Structure 1
Amino acid sequence: MLATDIQLARAASVAALATEGVHAMGRGRFVEAATYEGAEKVSGVVVDPEKVEIHVVVRWPLPKPIPEIAGSIRERVAPEAAGRRTIIMVDDLEVGADENL
């Protein structure tokens, strides 16, 4: 059975947040990145018929390169995505208070 858009958005959010190096879900750049169904909203994930767009904030220092973090998220989401293209957008970088760049 195929997941609804909101179920897919929930699963993508959980998968992204469980990935090493992800600090939080992103909000998008010019418009809010979210999927809506009824009164429910999943922030940081946009689901449409062709793609799943996942917006994240990564943590500094990075545990691994950003392309590897994105690949890990894609692998976690692929079983739920039903063949949709999965795009990972890094919206921001979270630097700890005791970390210096």
Structure 2
Amino acid sequence: MIEIKKEQLPALMEQETFILYLYTPFCGTCQLAKRMLEVVDETLPDVSFYKADLNYLPGFAEEWEVESVPCLLVFKNGQLKTKQYAFQSVEFLYHLIVKDGA
């Protein structure tokens, strides 16, 4: 997963298909979710995975109506396809991402 900063966000949003994982550093659940996503990232080498600390993205949470972290955003053809808060398992995340065509 590639860490992105606020100034990289506009260019990222121009990509057709990608996964954006939003977290905060002191969120314990986020640490577990990150480990699960790293496994999925390894199994889907053709999918672009990014992560961002929501603390450094002012306004982004409101714009995309992010209610909590961890949050997984799946973008396909430049559109938000899925917003997922519950990271149930590696298998669940894999199927969620593949289902949305990423």
Higher gyration radius (CA): 1
Same fold flag (TM > 0.5): no
More helix by share: 2
State the TM-score, normalizing by the size of structure 1.
Answer: 0.31
Q: Return the structure number with greater relative CO, CA threshold 8 A, min gap 6.
A: 2
